[in-house]
Chains A and B, each alone.
Chain A
Amino acid sequence: MSSVYLYPVWVRLWHLINAILFLILIITGLSLQYSSKEYTLLRFDLAVTLHNISGILLTINYLVIFFGNLFTKNGFYYRMRRRWLMKEIPLQTRYYLFGIFRGEKAPFPINSRRKFNPLQKIAYFSVLYFLMPLIFITGWALIFPNVLFVDKIFGTSSLHFTDLVHIIVGFILSLFMFVHIYLCTIGKPPGSHFKAMLSGWHHSDH
């Protein structure tokens, strides 16, 4: 068995804070979207306050990973080569859909130079550099609706359009979180990935 230190303290802390804020945002976001007089998950004003504070903290936390990836070697793990990806993604997909049930070895095992498999890279890259910024921009615009530059976008109120984008991206990110948590159970044994995220050390048979 080999061990590799993949998750430095700052990454683990960022990840932990991210996870907590994500959960708060999902719960409060659902509460706002489905607010009702008859049944209440959370009081509306409380949900607004919690959602806003968590959103602001998530933005600050995002800066940690953004600049961390820019200035530390952690950013290396997110780099992709298009030509490789076109060959690697089908391999990884096939493994998740079939190989995993046949006891095949993972085509892209974790090591000191590879923290993520190609599908993870694509997913994490999209989340970090596309979806998260989009939800921050729309979220901040909803916190300060008076600074929206235009009244209408595509014939609808800009506030409405902004909120639509916000909830759709929020929904996609929520799905990502569910799939992310499930795929973390794929480690051997199933809890190993969770332990690695706590200790920083990834243990592998490879």
Chain B
Amino acid sequence: MLKNSIFILLFILAFLLPLIGQEESEIAPITYEKNHECLKCHGQKYFSYFNEYVGRDVKERMNPMYIMDSATFYMSNHRTFMCTDCHSYEYGTSFPHPNQLRFEPSFSCMDCHEGNDEYAEFQFEKINEEFLASVHSEKHSDEFTCWMCHNPHTYHITARTSENLLETIQYDNEICLSCHSDQSKMGLLSDRHIYDMLNQHEWLPNQKLHFNKVRCIECHARISDTLMVAHNIQPKEQAVKLCVECHSQNSILMASLFKHIKQETQEKQGFLNAAILSQGYVIGANRNTYLNIGSLVIFGLVILGIATHAILRYIYPKN
């Protein structure tokens, strides 16, 4: 009897075990399947096709601009999308792709996100408003769209999700540098040459530390009261150059870089702007109230001691 029970139990477990730990993928199998049709060429450096004119398989190099790394795509914000959700379905049905498909207009962020309650927390309308007021919009043609910074195939949000702030900083700064340190991409929008970033920021003490620990937008974007990430990029003349904007009790970093660290309080174990301490340290912004009070008390007592001693020496000059 016991033997039978164990056997039945093992039998049930054998069916249940493979199910344990399995999570339902947010990406539908059909998406993988359909996208594979595109990525089997566009996910590779080379692609092959049967050339009817020469009557054999031909291997060619894929245009680097049209290579899409599937791993990067499936980690992006738009990972659940089929390629043909945004690109013409004809891409999926015809090869060679018809030339006229190249002229199809791209969707903009607002085409999908505007007025969509599902994305209300991201405030796309406000982001668009800030972008339109920014130097990126004012100084460039309509060619400057959201895609310039947020590649729809690769972009993923970091500020709200990443636990490692340094990763977020690096990711966000690379977005800026993808144009500002790459003449070929900058050339799409402007005739001017890119600046040498290191020379431009030569005035900054501990330049490397600043570049690693804060985002470009901390100094170059106007802080937004409501948005998580400010999008109103200012002309370079209006960039923050006053050190105390960050290095002070009322550091602007608390309204920008550390805005998302909600679990931290403004003050913890006596340190002002304690949220900063979870990821780094800013001289002038992280002073400790206990140490401040303690040092003032000790200093006061020493001065009092000296004054008392001096007065007593004056009153009792016994030599």
Seen from chain A, the residues whose Cβ lies within 8 Å of a Cβ on chain B are 32-37, 40, 43-45, 48-49, 96, 100-103, 145-146, 156-157, 159-160, 163-164, 167-168, 171, 175, 178-179, 182, 185-186, 188
Residue of B nearest to A159 (CB): B281
**Nearest-CB residue, chain A, relative to B319:** A103
B278 shortest CB reach to chain A, Å: 9
A72 → chain B closest CB, angstroms: 32
Q: Is the CB of A40 within 8 A of B299?
A: no
Question: Do A44 and B316 form a contact, CB below 8 Å, given A33-B284, A163-B281?
Answer: no
B266 CB–A CB distance under 8 Å: no
Which residue of chain B lies nearest to A190 when distances are taken between CB atoms in the complex?
Answer: B313
A103/B318 in contact, CB under 8 A = yes
* Contact call A160/B277, Cβ cutoff below 8 A: yes
Q: Which residue of B lies closest to A47 (CB)?
A: B243
- Contact yes or no, A102 B318, CB < 8 A: yes
Give which listed residue, B247, B249, B318, contacts A44 with CB less than 8 A: B247
Give the distance to chain B from A17, nearest Cβ to Cβ, in Å.
25
Binds A, one of B28-36, B90-98, B131-139, B303-311: B303-311
Q: Give the contact stretch, choosing among B45-53, B172-180, B203-211.
A: B203-211
Q: Provide a sorted-by-A list of 24 A–B residue pairs whose CB atoms are within 8 angstroms.
A: A32-B283, A32-B284, A33-B284, A35-B243, A37-B248, A45-B205, A96-B309, A101-B313, A101-B315, A145-B209, A146-B206, A146-B208, A156-B277, A157-B281, A160-B280, A167-B291, A171-B295, A171-B298, A171-B299, A175-B298, A175-B299, A175-B302, A185-B310, A188-B319
User: Does any Cβ of A come within 8 Å of B37's Cβ?
Assistant: no
| Closest Cβ–Cβ distance, residue B15 to chain A (whole Å) | 47
Evaluate contact between A179 and B302: CB separation under 8 angstroms.
Answer: yes
Task: Tell me the bound Cα distance from A44 to B277 in angstroms.
Answer: 21
Q: A100-B313, A145-B209, A179-B306 in contact; A159/B280 too (CB < 8 A)?
A: yes
- Give CA–CA (A97, B36) in the complex, Å: 88
Q: Do A160 and B281 have beta carbons less than 8 Å apart?
A: yes
The answer to whether B306 touches A102 (Cβ under 8 A) is: no
Instruction: List residues 245-304 of chain B with CB under 8 A from any CB of chain A.
Output: 245, 247-250, 277, 279-281, 283-284, 286-288, 291, 295, 298-299, 302-303
Question: In the bound complex, how far is the Cα of B47 from the Cα of A194, in angstroms?
Answer: 87
- Chain B min CB distance to A199 (Å): 23
A167 and B271 alpha carbons, distance in the complex (Å): 14
Residues of B within 8 A of A179 (CB): 302, 306
Main secondary structure, interface of A, reads helix
Excluding A32-B284, A171-B298, 9 further A-B contacts by CB distance (< 8 Å) are: A32-B283, A45-B243, A48-B205, A103-B316, A146-B209, A157-B281, A159-B280, A175-B298, A182-B306
How many Å from the CB of B197 to the closest CB on chain A? 18
Q: Which residues of A contact B9 (CB under 8 A)?
A: none
Kindly state whether residue B244 has any CB partner on chain A within 8 Å: yes
User: Chain B residue with minimal CB distance to A40?
Assistant: B244
Bound Cα distance from A49 to B206, whole angstroms: 11
Give Cα A44–Cα B245 distance, bound, in whole angstroms.
10
- Contact between chains at B316 and A101 (CB < 8 Å): yes
Is B71 engaged at the interface, CB distance under 8 Å to the other chain? no
B312 within 8 A of A: yes
Q: Which A residues are CB-close (under 8 A) to B250?
A: 36-37
Report whether A37 and B244 are in contact in the complex, using a CB–CB cutoff of 8 Å: yes
B283 proximity list for chain A (CB < 8 A): 32-33, 35, 163
B-side contacts of A96, CB under 8 Å = 309
Given contacts A101-B318, A156-B277, A178-B302, contact A35 B247 (CB under 8 A): yes
A32 to chain B, nearest CB (A): 6
Whether the pair B244, A36 counts as a contact (CB closer than 8 A) is yes
How near does chain A come to B44, taking the closest CB pair, in angstroms? 39
Contact A44 B281 (CB under 8 A): no
A35 to chain B, nearest CB (A): 4
Q: How far is the CB of A151 from chain B (nearest CB, A)?
A: 10
Q: Are A157 and B280 in contact (CB under 8 A)?
A: yes
B286 to chain A minimum Cβ distance, whole angstroms, is 7
B312 pairs with A101, CB closer than 8 A = yes
Q: Tell me if B318 and A36 are in contact (CB < 8 A).
A: no
Bound Cα distance A160, B316 (Å): 48
**Shortest Cβ distance from residue B188 to the other chain A in the assembled complex, whole angstroms:** 35
Task: Name the CB-closest residue of A to B305.
Answer: A179
Residue of B nearest to A52 (CB): B205
Across-interface contacts of B309 in A (CB, < 8 A):
96, 182
A32, A35, A101, A167: most-surrounded residue (chain B CB, <10 A): A35
Interface hits, B188-215 → A, CB 8 Å? 203, 205-206, 208-209
Chain B residues lying within 8 Å of A36, measured Cβ to Cβ, are 244, 248-250, 284
Say whether A35 contacts B244, CB under 8 Å: yes
Residues of chain A within 8 A (CB-CB) of B249 are 36
Residues from chain A with a CB closer than 8 A to the CB of B313 are 100-101, 186
Query: Is the CB–CB distance between A102 and B284 below 8 Å?
Result: no
